[in-house]
Structure 1
Amino acid sequence: MADLSRVKLANGIELDVWDSGPKDAPALIFLHGFPENHRTWRHQIEHLNSRFRCIAPDQRGYGNSSRPEGVEHYEPMVVAQDIGLLAQALELGSYTIIGHDWGGAIAWLVAAFGQASGHVTRAVIANAPHPVLFAELLLKDREQRAASQYMRTFRDPAHDPLVREHGLGALLLKAISWDRKIANDPAEQALQMEEWADQTRAFAMLNWYRASGLYVPSMDEPFGLPASYAAPPFPKLKIPTLVIWGMEDEALLPANVDGLTDWVENLTVERIADAGHFIPWESPDAVNAALDGFLAQIFLADGTST
């Protein structure tokens, strides 16, 4: 397991961070999703940290990082601010943001609002939908709405006694019934099970869903965009962006890749066949190859040696 350093942010939040690679190399910040930790990206970091400074925090609520009480402390923009403050604390001039699942959702925000200052110069998103496109799919796409009903279960406080008594793992078993069964490395799975068993961690993780303003309709509600619908304001992404998608994802369906060119000017999409949702460790070689091609292309364009 990696050695973690404790980083205190200007907002008082403390994050445990895996910080490896040359300190003067181009920086990559890796954001994990639910219900994992910084180890989501272990294969990519071990592949890249001879050439790049690789920074992977346990985000707030995860691992031993700060777990403030109250759903309001887990709103997406609040969590996204942690990443900007982490970059400041580590004195990064600029960096590439890389995220998967909920970490990808935060990466979309960090990239969209960090590109103007020049601090975020490129983005990589792995199986995490664009916030505007996903909101629309939930309204009009029957298959994606059905696949997302687990979010309603995670938000429902009626299941809190189950979590208190048996941990997050019990709720995961209740809410998710994917056909694709891919086992994580036993040591990684044991670490996750330990973290899921802790009540304060479990509810902090669930608060990411409960704090989000994303509306997930029930299957009984009408399908289609309401006549009064207007896309929420969201900056168009102008920095080079790589989207990697495991095409067998049962939670976030491949339709999420459609329409991205309306929101991303400089887009590369890598569709990975026979890969599911947890693509960083399900298909590490394919993800590493996609990252190698993207980062080499961008850094060569910048005139920076890799």
Structure 2
Amino acid sequence: MKAFNLQRVDLPTGVSLDVAVEGDPANPPVILLHGFPESHRTWRDIIPDLARDHHVIAPDQRGYARSSKPEGVAKYAPQEILADLIALADHFGIGKFTLVGHDWGGAIAWMAAILRPDRVERLVILNAPHPVVFQQTLITDKDQRAASQYMRAFRSEGFENAIDARGMLSFFERNFAAHIPVPIPEEEKAIYLDQWTQPGALSAMLNWYRASSIEVPPVEAEIDKPTFPIPELPPIAMPTLVVWGMKDPALLPCQLDGLEAHVRDLTIVRVAEAGHFIPWERPDAVIAALRGWFAEQPAPAGA
């Protein structure tokens, strides 16, 4: 098992995060944001390669693992988590950085690129939809709407009780391992079960869904599109790489349609034989995409 140097970082946002820190601080910085229901372990096969020539920062985000778990849904609103990201970069004395996000980490990465372009030098997204495209497809694409119904369940009051009733091992098998068609080492399984059973962890992780402004209509809903709220957001200007596992059952390939209207400098790498958890399934493809794109979009040292 690959173990990393974990540092406990107290942030002025009121939370403390465990952060994997690897590589020479003199090298270009890259920050890695995991999604649900994970931790810095998402990147266990990615970090060693990046650390050869980057300063790598991979936090356990608020609500996850042993990082702080503030009470209340409002504490997991995207702006709160974005504030953690900027404060984390400040803590390490990092000005501009390459930002890589998967799943909910990708949602925060999109937001950071839109709202804090002064800090994000390059953007990398792994199977995480642009907020405008996602909201539009939830209206216009019934397959995507059907695939996203799990979000309505995760947001429901007391969903934690249903998971507790089944047991955390069942949650691991049905909601995580079942979507990863490669063997999960027993030591990694033990780490995740330990992280998910930390006090308050389950509610905190689900609160990311509850705090999101994305609307997921019922499958059978008749929607008056002109009155449905779709955010108006400025286009993203920095170089952006999107790596997409095309067999993702929750975020369908329609999330790539029309994306160029929202990103001025866009590169898309489609990985045919990968699903949602592409850092687990195909770390080789992720690294190859990153390395090829980095060669075309070099970051200045000490960004």
The two structures have a TM-score, normalised by structure 2, of 0.92
1:156-198 deviation line (CA, Å, top 9, x unaligned): 1143322344555555767789777444333212211222233
Amino acid at match of 1:239: M
What letter is aligned with 1:237? Answer: I
1:287 maps to which residue? Answer: 286
CA deviations on 1:212-238 (whole Å, 9 max, x unpaired) are: 111111112025x62334631212100
2:207 alignment partner in structure 1: 207
Give the AA of the match of 2:36: F
**Counterpart contact for 1:195–1:202, Cα < 8 Å:** no
| Conserved 8 A contact 1:162-1:170 | no
Equivalent residue number for residue 217 of structure 2:
217
After superposition, the Cα gap between the structure-2 partners of 1:88 and 1:176, relative to the gap in structure 1 and judged at 3 Å, is closer
Give the aligned partner of residue 45 of structure 1: 47
Inter-partner Cα distance in structure 1 for 2:206 and 2:241: 28
Q: Residue 247 of structure 2 aligns with which residue? A: 248
Amino acid at match of 1:282: E
Distance 2:155 2:126 in 1: 24
Aligned-pair RMSD on alpha carbons?
Answer: 2.2
**1:295 positional shift:** 1.2
Match of 1:231 in 2: 230
Out of 4, 15, 18, which is 2:17 matched to? 15
Please give the alpha-carbon distance, in whole angstroms, between the structure 1 residues aligned to 2:202 and 2:215.
22
Query: Quick one: which amino acid aligns to residue 133 of structure 1?
Result: V
Post-superposition shift, 1:281? Answer: 1.6
Alignment of structure 1 residues 13-162 onto 2, 5 Å = 13-115=15-117, 117=118, 119-162=119-162
Instruction: Determine the C-alpha separation between the residues in 1 that align with 2:110 and 2:219.
Output: 27
Q: Structure 1 unaligned segments of length 5 or more: list them.
A: none
Q: Flag the 1:35–1:175 CA change in 2: closer, same or farther, 3 A.
A: closer
For residues 76 and 193 of structure 1, the distance between their equivalents in structure 2, rounded to whole angstroms, comes to 26
Structure 2 residue ranges without an equivalent (≥5): none
Residue-by-residue CA offset, 1:117-163 (whole Å, 9 max, x unaligned): 2x211100000000010011111111111111111111111433223
Q: Distance in 1 between matches of 2:176 and 2:140?
A: 22
Q: Distance in 2 between matches of 1:199 and 1:17?
A: 19
State the secondary structure of the residue aligned to 1:121: strand
Q: 1:38 to 1:259 in 2, by over 3 A?
A: same
Q: Please give the alpha-carbon distance, in whole angstroms, between the structure 2 residues aligned to 1:56 and 1:47.
A: 14
Q: Verify the 8 A CA contact 2:40 2:59 in the aligned structure 1.
A: yes
2-structure distance, mates of 1:176, 1:18: 22
> Between Structure 1 and Structure 2, how many residues are aligned?
300
Change (3 A) 1:4 1:177: closer
Contact 1:63–1:195 at 8 Å: present in 2 too?
yes
Q: Secondary structure at the match of 1:227?
A: helix
Distance across 2 between alignment mates of 1:277 and 1:201 = 22
Q: Distance in 1 between matches of 2:138 and 2:230?
A: 13
**Distance of 1:160 and 1:60 partners within structure 2:** 18
Change (3 A) 1:282 1:173: closer
Higher relative contact order (CA 8 A, sep 6+): 2
How far apart are the structure 2 equivalents of 1:204 and 1:179?
22
Q: Secondary structure at the match of 1:50?
A: coil
Give TM-score, length-normalised by structure 1.
0.92
% identity of equivalent residues? 45
Kept after mapping to 2: 8 A contact 1:167/1:197:
no
